[in-house]
Amino acid sequence: MSHKPSIAIIGGTGALGTGLARRWALAGYPITIGSRSAESATVSAQGLSALLSEKGVSGRVAGAENVEAARAADIVVLTVPFSQHAGMLGHIRESVQGRLVLDTTAPLVPPRVGTVQLPQAGSAAVSTQEALGDNVSVVSAFQTVAADKLQALHPMEGDVIVCGNKREDCARVIELVEATGMRGVYGGPLANSAASEALTSVLITINRQFKCQAGIKLVGLT
């Protein structure tokens, strides 16, 4: 079995973080759940360990405060709401130097979450790169995926657009996408994340209209 990188999920007790943690842990990735409270992270990690045991899967799961979680992992995944995004970047900046950071942030600004409201930098992911510096490789993905569907562990269909300035790091994230049961597709440089982030608000509007949890699927790929 090939070595799987360890993953720290910052904001890992939230809906999206929980769903990703479950899928990756079941796929054999070592997981550290990060939270503002080490106690909350530990409780969440215990719950995930129990799920693995129930499924007959062996795995390594831990919980820690966000900074400590980031220091412990090969790949750091940011799953906090946009309202906490800038503050969290400042909090973990030193602990993620030299790492791959996967940013799942969609710039949703209540109460108009169904309206596209991209930040001044052009996208949340570009803001992340600017805040963390050139010694961090930021890749963007998962903005168009419903957290509830990830948590439910049912088979998923659909595509995830992966954007980043280093193709090799995008390839690593595409492997993580595939471990969740979906297809990852390289979507170009990090600036192109603006399209995926904007699609989140579009999907929210569609899902409200049809009372569903629609995602995206790209056609014509070979």
* Mean pLDDT of the 65-89 span: 97
Residue 21's domain comprises: 7-210
> For tokens 């998962």, what's the residue?
142
Q: What is the per-residue pLDDT across 183-203, written as a single tens digit (0 to 9) for each?
A: 999 999 999 999 999 999 999
Candidates 157, 13, 34; CA nearest to 101 is 34
Q: At what angle do helices 167-179 and 15-26 cross, to 10 degrees?
A: 80
- Give the percent of the chain with pLDDT over 70: 99
pLDDT at 143: 98
* Mean pLDDT of the 122-145 span: 98
Q: What is the per-residue pLDDT across 22-46, written as a single tens digit (0 to 9) for each?
A: 999 999 999 999 999 999 999 999 9
Kindly report the CATH number assigned to the domain that includes residue 63: 3.40.50.720
Burial of 98 (0-12, 13-18, 19+ CB in 10 A): exposed
Inter-residue contact 9 to 20 (CB < 8 Å): yes
- Measured CA to CA, the distance from residue 11 to residue 211 in angstroms comes to 27
- Measured CA to CA, the distance from residue 116 to residue 109 in angstroms comes to 9
Q: How confident is the model at residue 6 (pLDDT cuts 50, 70, 90)?
A: very high
Residues in the chain: 222
- Is residue 120 assigned to a domain? yes
Q: What is the per-residue pLDDT across 51-70, written as a single tens digit (0 to 9) for each?
A: 999 999 999 999 999 999 99
Residue type, 219: V
pLDDT at 3: 87
The rounded mean pLDDT for the chain is 97
- Is residue 221 assigned to a domain? no
Dihedral of CA 169/61/46/55: which sign? positive
- Is residue 217 assigned to a domain? no
- Is residue 1 assigned to a domain? no
- Is residue 216 assigned to a domain? no
- Is residue 190 assigned to a domain? yes
Split into its structural domains, the chain has a count of: 1
Burial of 54 (0-12, 13-18, 19+ CB in 10 A): exposed
